[in-house]
Amino acid sequence: MNLGGDFSTANVGFAGGVLPATAFTRSGGIVNVTGKLTNTGDSMTLNAGTGTWNLGTNGTIIGGTVNVTGTQHLTSGAGTLDGVTVICATATETLDVLAGGTLTVLNDLTVNGTLTMATNTILNFSAASGVNQHLKTTSTALVTLGGSGGGNEARLRQTTSSHTVTFDANVTVKATNTSNTIGYVSGGFSGTWANAGTFTTPAGGSLTLETGSTFSNNTAGAVWETTGGTFTLNPSTTWSNIGTIRIVTAGVLNLGGNVTTANIGLVTRTHDINNIPQGTINLTGNINNVGATFTMDQNVNGSWFFGNFATITGGTIETLNGSGFTQNGAFTFDGVTISTGSLVLLTGSGSYGLTVKNGLTINGTVMIGNAAGTFYAFLSASGSQTIGGTGDILFGGNAASALTTTASGQTLTLGPSLLIHGKSGTIGTGGSTFAFQGPLKADVSGGTLRVGQGSNTLSIACTISTAGATQAINGGTMFIAPSAGGTPTWTNTGIVTVGTGQAPWSSPPLPGRAAGRSTSQTALVASAAQARWTRPARSR
């Protein structure tokens, strides 16, 4: 039966919210509302006698309360609810957006019970600019999203204009299938989405807060969480959190968009019986950390992965209680300080790495490539600058790892208290200047550090040692200006030391040193301008 035109609940025959058998009989089928049903100040009950009612094209219910009982449903293929309260008696009675269908909300929508969205569905929130629309409840509400991807997402979006949609306390949005979105999509507006309830993704579920919109956990009790699924804030979103963002068990949290450190708020992870944080956090957005400290704590939010062109600007990064900052793609530090004892691991995947802008202070450790040599990475300076601090840059075991500049013609100064050392890798970029003011050491047995690549200018005012700070015989090898790729121009005003028993240094002939000479102290003296080269006396 299709009910079109304009009519009221009383016109249909509802009395006291109930449609008596004397007014309406049904032996099967459903009722399609294709007109405008005014229910303001009244109520209507769907039960075994009325069956399920569906909002078809242009079908609208205005105001009042719809009680769904007796295993029936209120469904929408292309309908509208305008200021309506829907009360679902149990979990078997629901408000449903049918597969391929839409439901448009005007004014506020109150749900006591469950609203389900099937695959390829849209829940439209329509209001004028400046309006704050609410999805609310007087008990509890559950919105389940069952999108399946490939254009079949379940989508919540704003229409008519960009405005604010608020999910009130005790409202839970649960993404139960693989592809679901909130925010801007084609045909919609960006707007603001404020959560005072819970957004959650269980195992097998995925929820994306879409590009171009603004999102917030806007009360202390608000929660964004993943309990085994994937929760993603897309790039170009702006977001804030004064509630809790949490990972439970094996969930994945992708934090994109733009946020200040203060607005990240509380991020937590559950821990297993060995106190290992569960799940994964990927930072894929931009953090404004100016004047702040961005902290990872193994006991709270664990280690984070950084990649997909994420950027941290300014301030200090610290990792506590064994946590680390691990690369999982390309990312950027812009004027950042790494605190004492903190760890940045460029060991996540392939040939990606860290780009540094406007200087980097390393008081902790930056490791380029992993110790086993199964991964390599790059630490690249963009623009002339200084990388300093009292910590160290540590090369792992893969010779493809590199400390470079992003282009020729740049000057990278390595500060006087910064130790550069490790097993294998290359330092240099053709056409750039590298000024070493502090210690440079090849101090891991079986490895090779190559200094100079292409036509570099190397200015060395430091102690270079293949045997560590105490000249221990660790078996490392260092190549100054390897023959492959050209011969750099370089000067030395410090001391270059080759540990006793080490493999000979390798370099093109230097001024005052003939090719093929031994590596004795006498042979290593190049010129007064190049200061001293020494080799410790052999023990007897």
pLDDT in tens, 136-194: 999 999 999 999 988 899 999 999 999 999 999 999 999 999 999 999 766 778 899 99
- Asked whether residue 212 is assigned to any structural domain, the reply reads no
> What is the model's pLDDT at position 413?
92
Q: Which two tokens stand for residue 380?
A: 């690249």
Instruction: Take residue 67 and report the two structure tokens written for it.
Output: 């009680």
Average pLDDT, rounded, for the chain = 85
**374 lies in a domain?**
no
| Contacts of range 520-524, beta carbons closer than 8 Å, 24 or more positions apart | 524/496, 524/498
Asked which of 294-298, 310-314, 479-483, 533-537 is least confident by mean pLDDT, the reply is: 533-537
| pTM confidence score | 0.88
Q: Which band of pLDDT confidence, cut at 50, 70 and 90, is reported for residue 438?
A: confident
What is the predicted pLDDT for the residue at 497?
58
- Residue 459: Cβ within 10 Å count: 18
Coil, strand or helix at 261: helix
Is residue 107 in some structural domain? yes
**Residue 419 scores a pLDDT above 70:** yes
> Measured between alpha carbons, how far is 71 from 238 in angstroms, rounded to an integer?
41
Inform me whether the pLDDT recorded for 517 exceeds 90: no
Kindly tell me if the per-residue pLDDT of 539 is higher than 50. Answer: no
Tell whether 266 is covered by a domain: no
Q: Which residues pair with 145 in a beta bridge?
A: 117, 175
- The answer to the question of residue 337 being in a domain is no
User: Which domain does 131 fall in, by range?
Assistant: 33-206
**169 located within any domain:** yes
Closest CA relative to residue 493, chosen from 436, 531, 534? 531
Residue 14 counted as domain residue: no
What residues contact residue 484 under an 8 Å CB cut-off, 6+ apart?
Answer: none
pLDDT of residue 352: 75
Q: What are φ and ψ of residue 378, in 5° steps?
A: -125, 140
Q: For 260-300, what is each residue's pLDDT tens digit?
A: 999 999 999 999 988 889 999 999 999 999 999 999 999 99
**Where do the DSSP E strands lie in 261-383?**
266-269, 280-283, 286-288, 293-297, 304-306, 310-313, 316-320, 325-327, 331-338, 343-346, 353-362, 365-368, 378-381
pLDDT over 80 at 530, yes or no: no
| Winning range, highest mean pLDDT, from 190-194, 254-258, 334-338 | 334-338
Average pLDDT over residues 426-444: 83
Mean pLDDT lowest for which of 194-208, 225-239, 265-279, 421-435?
421-435
Q: How many domains does the chain have?
A: 1
pLDDT value of position 526:
32
Please say whether the beta carbons of 317 and 341 come within 8 A: no
Mean pLDDT, rounded, for 368-389: 94
Task: List Cα–Cα distances, 138 to 3, 46, 141, 169, 311, in angstroms.
Answer: 30, 20, 8, 9, 42
Q: 232 in a domain, yes or no?
A: no
Q: Report, as an integer, the average pLDDT of 187-213.
A: 93
Banded model confidence at residue 56, pLDDT cuts 50, 70, 90? very high
Name the one residue in this structure whose structure tokens are 């200015």.
459
Confidence band of 195 (pLDDT split at 50, 70, 90): very high
Alpha-carbon dihedral 381, 386, 392, 394, rounded to 10 degrees:
20
pLDDT of residue 396: 94
Closest CA to 77 of 114, 30, 43, 111: 30
Which has the higher per-residue pLDDT, 76 or 432? 76
**pLDDT one-digit tens code per residue, 469-499:** 323 335 566 666 544 445 556 566 665 655 5
Name, of 77-81, 416-420, 528-532, the range with top average pLDDT.
77-81
pLDDT bin (cut points 50, 70, 90) of residue 211 is: confident
Q: How many residues does the chain have?
A: 540
